[in-house]
Amino acid sequence: MREEVKVNWDWADSYLSEVEQILRENINLLVSIKVAPMEDDTQRATDMIIDIEGEGQVAVRLRRLKFRDFTIRSKAGGRTEIDKIRDGFARWYVYGWIENNMIDEWILVDLDQVRKENLLDNRRTINNKDGITGFISISIKELREKNCILSEKTRRLPNG
């Protein structure tokens, strides 16, 4: 089991440069640039103001395209991804699907909005084949309806 985790970890890490590119392409959703008020301009030598929209922590999950859903680990014998997200960790989530050795489809999820809409609560855990780990599933359609998706490159995933 441990070897399988390492193989999947290395596989996902091999796509991190593509994830970085997705974030760069969507930086306008995470950062705002505004003209400074006259007072700032005349008294503080400030012509422009750059604001980062919240904390900058990004969670990433990449999956093989045959699994076209949005899941979060909710069972593993200890603290899981869902526990950490509920605690407020990670502000955004890049969730992508791999096909032909590239991130073919992806969504950029606002986790603050997911928490605000209580989308992590009252969900059934789906047990994995190993019997140790499990996940909750949130449909892409529901994420869209609750305005949790900031940006996406999809072919309108099934369930959404």
CA dist 107 to 25, 102, 132, 156, Å? 12, 14, 28, 11
pLDDT digits (tens, 9 = 90+) for 43-99: 888 888 888 776 678 999 999 877 778 999 998 878 999 999 999 999 999 999 998
Residue 45 domain-assigned (yes or no): yes
Q: Is residue 24 very low, low, confident or very high in pLDDT (cuts 50, 70, 90)?
A: very high
Residue 30 domain-assigned (yes or no): yes
Our count of domains for the chain comes to 1
Residue 158 domain-assigned (yes or no): no
Q: Is residue 7 pLDDT above 60, yes or no?
A: yes
Residue 89 domain-assigned (yes or no): yes
Range of the domain at 132: 2-153
Residue 74 domain-assigned (yes or no): yes
β-bridge partners, 136? 72
Query: Which among 88, 34, 91 has a CA at the least distance from the CA of 60?
Result: 91
Q: DSSP letter string over 90-136?
A: -SEEEEEEEETTEEEEEEEEEHHHHHHTTTTSS-PPEEPTTSS-EEE
Residue 28 domain-assigned (yes or no): yes
Q: Give percent above pLDDT 90 in the chain.
A: 56
Residue 42 domain-assigned (yes or no): yes
Amino acid found at 112: D
